[in-house]
């Protein structure tokens, strides 16, 4: 995986029927993951090295709306190489709704220079005051190239009402301390989301990132920071 991130990648596109979760639009629908490493929404097949972790904090929302703030720590236990566990906490700045989640990710094959590797993840998200939770199951593939990497996700979201197949694909490339990406993701019978973004690792262990996107004619914006340890 690229050195700038070890995903708890994760990410549903963020939608809910509850008004208080509208500002979480970037988290509750469309992507097959609970959370992916910033600033991607599509997950990659990498995990943190055993004994290492990271914390991501970011804001995201629709243009000219208050949006929501997110915090997502992740850690890879030394005793179980290939496993990464993470959590998510989100707060809607409009409706004051709180969202929480947990995710486990398993890397089935190790990364190969110029090759492909695979992982899978399972995550659970719950909105405070809502009935039921959303379960996300995802198969993840990453192929490294000389110019960057391609990531593909295929999974399903289980809401209290039904199962919804979901998909995602992303392409990224690194130039020194900057990594840029383009991605698309969505769910069956739903509109796709298109995003582009970049991260800057300005010093070892610290990165700044941001993205812009479009979904159903609305502009999405996100800014964040990440610390790896």
For residue range 174-183, what is the model confidence (pLDDT) as tens digits? 999 999 999 9
The residue-averaged pLDDT of 208-218 equals: 96
Whether 32 contacts 108, CB under 8 Å? no
What does the pLDDT read at residue 3?
35
Higher pLDDT, 133 or 24: 133
User: Residue 169: which of 192, 190, 199, 147 has the closest Cα?
Assistant: 192
- Give the span between the Cα atoms of 98 and 226, in whole angstroms: 21
Cα separation, 140 vs 91, in Å, equals 27
**For the stretch 158-183, what's the b/e string if a residue is b when 16 or more beta carbons lie within 10 angstroms of its beta carbon?**
ebeeeebebbbebbbbbeeeebbbeb
* Contacts of 167 by beta carbon, 8 Å cutoff, 6+ apart: 32, 153, 154, 155, 185, 186, 187
CA angle 113, 119, 123 (to 5 degrees): 145
Domains of the chain, earliest start first: 19-228 (2.40.160.40)
DSSP, collapsed to helix, strand or coil, labels residue 24 as helix
Model confidence, pTM: 0.85
Structure-block tokens of residue 216: 């159903």
| Residue 35 banded pLDDT, cuts 50, 70, 90 | low
Q: What number is the average pLDDT over the span 118-147?
A: 92
C-alpha distances in Å from residue 123, one per residue of 4, 190, 217: 22, 21, 29
Query: How does pLDDT run across 41-84, given as a tens digit for each residue?
Result: 999 999 999 999 999 999 999 888 889 999 999 999 999 999 99
């Amino acid at each position: 995986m690229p050195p700038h991130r070890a995903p708890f990648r994760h990410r549903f596109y963020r939608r809910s029927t509850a008004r208080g979760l509208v500002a979480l639009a970037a988290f509750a629908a469309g992507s097959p993951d609970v959370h992916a490493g910033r600033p991607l929404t599509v997950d990659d097949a990498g995990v943190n090295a055993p004994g290492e972790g990271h914390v991501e904090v970011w804001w995201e929302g629709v243009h000219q709306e208050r949006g929501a703030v997110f915090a997502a720590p992740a850690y890879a236990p030394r005793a179980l190489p290939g496993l990464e566990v993470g959590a998510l906490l989100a707060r809607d700045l409009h409706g004051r709704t709180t969202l929480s989640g947990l995710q486990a990710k398993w890397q089935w094959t190790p990364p190969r220079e110029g090759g492909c590797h695979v992982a899978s993840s399972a995550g659970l998200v719950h909105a405070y005051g809502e009935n039921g939770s959303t379960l996300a199951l995802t198969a993840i593939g990453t192929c490294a190239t000389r110019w960057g990497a391609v990531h593909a996700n295929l999974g399903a979201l289980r809401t209290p009402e039904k199962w919804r197949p979901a998909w995602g694909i992303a392409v990224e490339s690194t130039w020194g301390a900057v990594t840029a990406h383009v991605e698309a993701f969505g769910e069956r019978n739903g509109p796709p989301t298109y995003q582009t973004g970049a991260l800057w690792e300005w010093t070892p262990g610290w990165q700044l990132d941001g993205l812009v996107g479009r979904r159903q004619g609305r502009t999405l914006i996100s800014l964040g920071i990440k610390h790896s340890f």
